[in-house]
Amino acid sequence: MDLKSSIVKMLNYRDNNECGGDCAFQQTCGCMNRHQNLENDLEQKKREIRELNITLRTLLIKQYEHIEEVRKSCMSVIRERVQPHIDLLETRIMDPELKECLKLIRFSLLGKSPGNNTLLMRDFSPREIQIINFIINGKSSKEIAHALRLAPKTIHSHREQIRRKLGITNRGINLRERLIEHLYGREPTQV
């Protein structure tokens, strides 16, 4: 029953009832006043919640900006202090497996690697990125397993996962070539 019909019913009751008409009318008016007060309180609460949401959104944006500033500052310090040591090690290390590990360290710390870093970081796990770097450099599963001190079956599983993520279902497609096309956008060269 809506408010209008309730009022009409109460007015009819008041007109037909000799002794309690005013009482029923007053009760109806009291209910209407309480209802209006509740609606006003509800509107006030909605405004307060909207204002709090705006404040929280602003604080969250400022927090993200602060986090980004701290990240950039940390990366700057890492580049200043670590990169010279990595560069020095690159000139002194002769073992190809250690050089590959150094490339992985450079990539992990400095975010520097040939190809599309964003695709690597977004699509692949850190271990898959290590294996991808070895594959791109022409290493076999056995060589990768030896360098990373993992079982060849583990490397095989990672290669299969990389294939799945690249959408390669045909076993005849060369994974190295597809990775180079995916990351560099160019034709592979012979290793």
Q: Which residues contact 4 (CB under 8 A, 6 or more apart)?
A: none
Which of 27-41, 137-151, 176-190 bottoms out in mean pLDDT, i.e. has the lowest?
Answer: 176-190
What does the alpha-carbon distance between residue 98 and residue 90 come to, in Å, rounded to a whole number?
Answer: 9
Tens of pLDDT, residue by residue over 110-130, are: 655 444 455 566 678 888 888
Look up the pTM and report it. 0.43
What does the alpha-carbon distance between residue 131 and residue 140 come to, in Å, rounded to a whole number?
Answer: 10
Tens of pLDDT, residue by residue over 52-87, are: 999 999 998 999 899 888 878 887 887 788 888 888
Tally of helices (H runs) and strands (E runs) in the chain: 8, 0
